[in-house]
Structure 1
């Protein structure tokens, strides 16, 4: 369902501070394994993310960062990041192009209005236009139903994470 109050567009350098603030809903103050544990952790990931965004917002063919902007106010209400990896071919992915969805986040007071769905639909079209047939994401329990309605299936594989100490 297209939201008449919303425009989904590629994010720009001008969106950078807002993208960092939105991602903080996922990375600061949660119990997730990837969440920052201290104020110092939060400061470090924010600086590293700003640098990463700056280098990818304008010139990366294998990274897409979308912003959901309120048509009237111009406020960015949500965002999503897509990354295309080249992997070894497999039965479900013969060309080896694998998509990764990261940081689907909507401003809390705007959740439940179809914004994340619209962001994901745009992203899935972007992947399809690039020949990416296999797309993976890590989900919270609350968002799992949305992704399943978009064709994602729960995997029987375990997600194992090995994190090195921050440099």
Structure 2
């Protein structure tokens, strides 16, 4: 039996470690330490402690080292303007689904993501978005995700603090 639990602020450093592993896998190199890890950890600690959570994570601990995480799935809740397909405007966003390389192919990411989706369902959030890497797409399709017609775009604004 896989023990999935909701992450706490005490898991923030491990969530950042797994995020580094995910970023390295996506970009074929380890991310540089430009202070992002400390900022990410502080953000996680703050948001995981919030009384009205807008960020939630589910984790599986490593069986041989319970203080270290084997896998995680993190999600946020955004309140957008409602529309015909989503009248209340609440939208979940799944990101940072990562597994420590030594613990892959055991279903941990699936269990974490499934727990996150159940949390969304329990909180009345019917629309959930994510971006998938090609290797992860079969997992998300098996959970019911499908491609949308809306292409993602991004702008990096220079000169901001």
The superposition leaves residues 31-55 of structure 1 with CA deviations (integer Å, 9 ceiling, x where unpaired) of 39xx95xx3xx33211210110110
Count of aligned positions: 157
1:84 aligns with 77
Q: Please identify runs of 4+ aligned residues in structure 1 that moved more than 4 A.
A: none
Distance 2:26 2:79 in 1: 31
TM-score by length of 1: 0.84
Q: How does 1:62-101 map to 2 (within 5 A)?
A: 62-71=54-63, 73-74=65-66, 75-101=68-94
> 1 CA distance for matches of 2:118 and 2:25?
32
Question: 5+ residue gaps in structure 1?
Answer: none
- Alpha-carbon distance between aligned partners in 2 of 1:63 and 1:30, rounded to the nearest angstrom: 22
- Structure 2: which 5+ residue stretches go unaligned? none
1:16-65 deviation line (CA, Å, top 9, x unaligned): 22111100012347439xx95xx3xx332112101101101222422112
Give secondary structure in 2 for the equivalent of 1:100.
strand
**Matched ranges for 1:1-167 at <5 A:** 4=1, 6-28=2-24, 30-31=26-27, 36=31, 39=32, 42-59=33-50, 60-71=52-63, 73-74=65-66, 75-165=68-158, 167=161
Query: How far off its partner does 1:136 sit?
Result: 0.1
